[in-house]
Amino acid sequence: MSRLRVLWVSLLGLALVRCTVPSLEDLWREKGFCAAGDEDCGMLRIRVDAQGFEPGCLKFEAKEAGRDATLTATVPYRGTARAGKTLTQGFSPPKDWGLGVTVSVSAFEQGCEGKAVTAQSRQSTLREGGVSEVAFVVAATDADRDGYVSVATGGSDCSDELAEVNPGAAELCNEADDNCNGAKDEGLGLGDTCATELGCMGVKVCGQGGAVTCVAQTEQAAWADDDQDGHGDTSRGQVPVCSSTLPPNRLPLTAPHDDCDDDDARIHPGAVEVCNELDDNCINGTDEGFGIGQACTDPTYQCVNGRVFCGRDGGTQCLPPATVPTWYPDDDQDFFGASDGGVLSCPVPAPGFVNQRGDCDDGNPFIHPNALELCDEQDNNCNNLVDENGACRGDGPTWVSESVNNGGPALRGVSLFGDGGVWVVGDDSTRAIKPSGSSSFTVLPGKCTGGTTQRALYGVWAHPQTGVAYIGGDNDILTIQSPSSSWCDPYKPPSASGTTTSLKGFVGNDGGVLIVGVGSLSNGTVGGSFEWDGGIATVPVQSYSGQPLFGVDGVSQTLLFAVGDASGRSNILRRSGGSGGWVPEASVPDAGALWAVDVVNNKLAYAVGANGTFLAWNGATWSIGYGPVTNDILTGVLAFGSNSVYVVSANGYIFRYNGRAWTQFSVGMSLYDIEGTSPEDIWAVGNFGNVFHYPGWPQ
C-alpha cells in the first residue's frame, strides 16, 4: 500500500472517532434532576434555604417553557446531613427541551405528600455550555421545634407553642386537642362503664398525667376476715369493698391483720393451742407443748415404745408401734398357743399367753407343731398323722400288766423318778422298785411291822434325782427306802397316830426335801396334814374333825390341794402360802367324797372320787367337770392338760379323755393310783400286785 493511502485511512479513522464522542451538554441533558447533593451536576444549580423551620422534605419540579413537559424530584431534608444548610440541587433539561424552564420548590412538614407548607417558582433561561443558578428561600414558623409548622404559616400545628401538641401526638385525657384534629379526648371512652383497681364498678374519667382512670362513686379497702374471728387474713392484702359500710367478713385497716388461717374461726393469734395438727395460735408452730412424737405407753396394747399423737378430742393419745405382737392362749403351757383367740399386746397380756400359734391341741402339752411323735394314739406334731415314723413298737399302744409279787397283795401307790425309775407300794408292806433302764421290778425284803402288825403302805414319793422313796401307811408309819434297803423299820415323826394316805414332796435349792402328807386319824373320822423334812424328828399334825383326807398334790409349795371326805361330800383344802396351814376352798360343788387330786399347772387341776365325781379347777374356782359317765369310785387321776386326762377306778377301768370324748379300758381288777411323765409313759397299780404300763411294757 502507498504512503498516501495509509495517511488517508488514518485521517478517516480519526474523523470517525471524533464524531462519536458526546459533548458535556449531551451528558448533562441526559440526567434531568441530579442525585441529591451532587452540586456539580447539570446546567442549573437550584439553591434552597429554609427559615423558621426544617422541612421534612423538599419537592422540586421543572417545566419546559411553553410546553407541559415536567420533571420532579423529592429530597429528604430534616434528619439528614444537609439539615440547617443550603441545599443545592442540580438539573439538566432533556435533549428535546428548550433552554427556557420554570423551576418550583415546595416545602413539606413531614414527607413529600399532602399539602405543602410553602411553594415558590422561578423562571430561568439556560445556556449551552454554561451553568445557571436560581435561589429560593422557604419560610414558615415551627416555634416549638416539634417538626410541625404553625397553622398561621401554612402548617398543621394547632398549638405551635407546645411541642407535645401536633398532628403526630397521641391524644391524652386532658380536655385538649393534642393531635390537632379538632376534637378533644376522642377515642378514650370517657364516661364508659369500667372496673376500678379495687374491683368496683365505675366510669372512665381523666386522671393525672393525661391517663384514663376508672372512678367508682363509693369504694374502700379492707382486710379479709372470712371466718369472722376479728383477725385479717395474712395471706391476702387489702381487698375492695364497694360500699360505705363493711360487710361482716371484712375488717377496717385499723384491725389486726395476722390470721394464719382465715377459714377457721378457732385459729388466730391468742387462741388456745389444741392438739389437732394445726397452728391454732399462729405462732408458726403446730401442737407445741403436747410432746408430739415423744415416747409413751399405749393404753390399749401397753406398748412402752409408742409415740404421742393428737387424738380426736384435742388432747393427746399414744400411738402404738406399727407392729404389735399377737399373743395366743397357751392353756397346756407347751409354748405353742391356739390358732385363734389372739390378743394384740406388747407385753404378755396375762400368764399363759405366748406369741407362737398353731397348736392343734391346746389341752395337751405333748401335742404341738414340731413335737416328738409319741406312741399315744394321737397326732403329736400336728401333721394329721398318728404314731407315724415308728413311734410304736410291736402291735401298737395298749395297756400291758405285770405282777410284781406273783399275784400277791394289792398295790396302793406309785411314784416315778429319774429317767424311767418307778416305785410302787401296797398292802403287807409291799415295796418294789424298777430302776431307771430296767424293765422289771424288784421287791424289797422285810416287813414294816413296827411291832407285831404288818402295815399297809398307801403313799409314796420318790426323790426325782436320787430315787430315794419316802413312804407312808397305816398305824402312823413313815419310812425311807432306797433300792438297796432290806428292812423297813419305820420312822414315826407324826405326833398323832393315824394312816398316811398320800405324800407329795419338793426338792429345795439346798438339796433338802419338804414332804407334805395327808391322812385320816381316829379310825377315819378325823383328817390330818403334816410337813416332813425326811428326818426322824417328830413333826406336828394338824387335824380336821370329820374331814379325813385321802389325796394331796401340787406344783409348788404355794399351790397344793388336799382332798377328802366331809360327811360323804367333796372336801378340798388349799395350803395357805408358806405357813403350812390349810384353808377350805370356797364354793366346792356338792359332790361325792374325793379320793385323789392332780394339779397340772397354775390354771388347771382335777379331783376325783366316789360316785364318779369329777371336779375341775380353772385357776380360780372348782366346778363339776366333764368326766367319765360312771357311778364307779374314781381312785386316781393323772392329767397332762385339759385334753389329756386319765382316771382309774375301783371297778378296774382306765378312763381316758383326749379333748373330744372319754374312752375306757378294762383291766379286770381294782386300780388305786396312776402316775406318768408323758402320754407314752403312764403307770397304774391295783389288786394282786399288778402294775400296768402304757403304751407297752418298757424294754
From the CB of residue 84, how many other CB atoms can be counted at a distance below 10 Å?
A: 12
pLDDT tens sequence across 277-323? 899 999 988 998 899 999 999 899 999 999 999 988 888 899 999 99
Q: Is residue 581 over pLDDT 50?
A: yes
**Contact between 479 and 489 (Cβ < 8 Å):** yes
The predicted model gives 82-94 an average pLDDT of 90
Q: What is the per-residue DSSP string for 12-38?
A: HHHHHHHHTSPPHHHHHHTTEEPPTT-
- Rounded average pLDDT over 538-547: 92
Give me the CATH number covering residue 434: 2.130.10.10
Contact of 376 with 679, CB cutoff 8 Å: yes
Q: Please give the share of the chain, as a percent, with pLDDT higher than 70.
A: 94
For residue 170, being part of any structural domain is answered with no
pLDDT at 21 over 90: no
Grid coordinates given for 288: 407445741
Q: Which of 36-50, 164-178, 347-361 has the lowest mean pLDDT?
A: 36-50
Tell me the pLDDT band of 6, cut-offs 50, 70 and 90: very low
- The residue-averaged pLDDT of 375-401 equals 92
**pLDDT number for residue 453:** 65
Tally of domains within the chain: 2
Instruction: Name the residue among 267, 400, 274 with its Cα closest to residue 684.
Output: 400
Position 5 in a domain: no
pLDDT at 30: 64
Residue 125: pLDDT band by 50, 70, 90 thresholds? Answer: very high
Q: Does any domain span residue 263? A: no
CA neighbours closer than 13 Å in the CB half-sphere of residue 214: 12
In order, the DSSP letters of 398-423 are --EEEETTSS-SPEEEEEEETTTEEE
Which distant-in-sequence residues (6+ apart) come within 8 Å of 323 by Cβ? none
Per-residue pLDDT of 407-418, as tens digits, reads: 889 999 999 999
Determine, yes or no, domain membership for 457: yes
Is residue 455 domain-resident? yes
Average confidence score pLDDT of the chain: 90
Question: pLDDT tens-digit profile of 126-152?
Answer: 988 889 999 999 999 999 999 999 999
Q: Are the beta carbons of 120 and 139 closer than 8 angstroms?
A: no
What is the structure's pLDDT at 9? 36
- End position of a domain, from candidates 115, 133, 152: 152
Question: In this predicted structure, what is the pLDDT of residue 3?
Answer: 37
In this prediction the pTM is: 0.63
Is residue 438 within 8 Å of residue 693, measured between CB atoms?
A: no
Query: Does 382 map to a domain?
Result: no
CA distance 568 to 557: 28
Predicted local confidence at residue 579, as pLDDT = 62
607 in a structural domain: yes
State which of 182-196, 246-260, 490-504 shows the largest mean pLDDT. Answer: 246-260
Q: Is 402 exposed, middle or buried (0-12, 13-18, 19+ CB in 10 A)?
A: middle
For residue 664, how many other CB atoms are within 10 A of its CB?
14
Reduce the DSSP state of residue 508 to 3 states and report it.
coil
The answer for residues whose C-beta is within 8 angstroms of residue 339's C-beta and 6 or more apart is 328, 357, 358, 359, 360
Q: What is the pLDDT of residue 215?
A: 85
Helix (H) or strand (E) holding 356: none
Confidence band of 184 (pLDDT split at 50, 70, 90): very high
Q: Which of 152, 178, 198 is the last residue of a domain?
A: 152
Residue 98's CATH number:
2.60.40
How many C-beta atoms surround the C-beta of residue 495 within 10 A? 12
Q: What share of the chain has pLDDT > 90, as a percent?
A: 70
What is the domain range of residue 634? 400-694
601-622: b or e for each residue (b if 16 or more CB lie within 10 Å)?
beebbbbbbbebbbbbbeeeeb
Nearest to 542 by CA among 491, 513, 584, 506: 584
Please check whether residue 699 lies inside any domain of the structure.
no
Contact 267, 287 (CB under 8 A): no
Give me the pLDDT at residue 27, please: 54
pLDDT in tens, 497-515: 789 999 999 999 999 999 9
Domain final residue pick, 87, 120, 152 = 152
Please say if the pLDDT value at position 25 is more than 70.
Answer: no
